[in-house]
């Protein structure tokens, strides 16, 4: 995502892993690391961000299991990372987004459109994320809000999911991360008269959720 946006944007790279942030920032002119724990972000963390053109939410966690096997702490953690952290960071950055007539992009999932067995807590969080995006879009007409629904993507998170499913990891059947990034870039660079509210991207082969 950062590499796709770098040619047209100055970037703040937010996340916990300072070494990873430094590595990406070093290769992208105009990018700088923004070490932050997204589930504990405060007003102090966003101090000095006065104008923001684009906010991309792409962090997430997925713990699979049948509902009868999923304890409350899994539901709480999933909601905290996938929904509450997104809502709070967006809330804190609303003044900067308004100042920049900004664009909020939420990387959702096919699980935000339908729920499958063993995906209950994750799907519930993604349905909630979809509702958050819809409400934000209506409450903040000066902003553009885009939800992106990718299918399976070749990422470390996907490796963890396939381990939980006891399945083989088949990257050729998944989307490339840069393919999802291009979809985000297309939404962000759409002319000002257009508002891309939703994008669904599926692999050309393989499982779709």
- Tell me which residues are annotated as active site: 122
Half-sphere exposure in the Cβ direction for 12 (13 Å, CA) = 17
CA distance 59 to 52: 19
Q: What are phi and psi of 34, to 5 degrees?
A: -135, 80
Residues 6 or more apart whose Cβ sits within 8 Å of residue 168: 162
DSSP string of 14-28, one letter each residue: EES-HHHHHHHHHHS
CA distance 207 to 209: 6
């Amino acid at each position: 995502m950062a590499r796709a946006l770098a040619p047209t944007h100055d970037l703040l790279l937010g996340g916990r892993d300072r070494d990873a942030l430094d590595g990406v920032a070093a290769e992208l002119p105009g990018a700088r690391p923004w070490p932050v724990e997204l589930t504990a972000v405060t007003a102090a963390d966003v101090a000095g961000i006065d104008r923001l053109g684009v906010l991309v939410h792409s962090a997430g966690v997925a713990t699979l299991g049948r509902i009868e096997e999923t304890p409350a702490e899994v539901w709480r953690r999933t909601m905290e990372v996938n929904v509450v952290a997104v809502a709070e960071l967006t809330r804190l950055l609303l003044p900067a987004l308004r100042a920049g007539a900004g664009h909020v992009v939420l990387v959702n999932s096919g699980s935000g459109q339908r729920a499958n067995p063993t995906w209950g807590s994750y799907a519930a969080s993604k349905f909630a994320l979809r509702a958050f995006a819809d409400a934000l879009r209506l409450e903040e007409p000066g902003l553009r809000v885009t939800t992106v629904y990718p299918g399976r993507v070749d990422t470390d998170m996907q490796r963890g999911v396939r381990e939980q499913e006891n399945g083989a990891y088949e990257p050729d059947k998944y989307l490339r991360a840069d393919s999802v990034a291009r979809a985000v870039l297309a939404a962000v660079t759409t002319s000002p008269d257009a508002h891309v509210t939703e994008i669904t991207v599926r692999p050309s082969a393989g499982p779709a959720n």
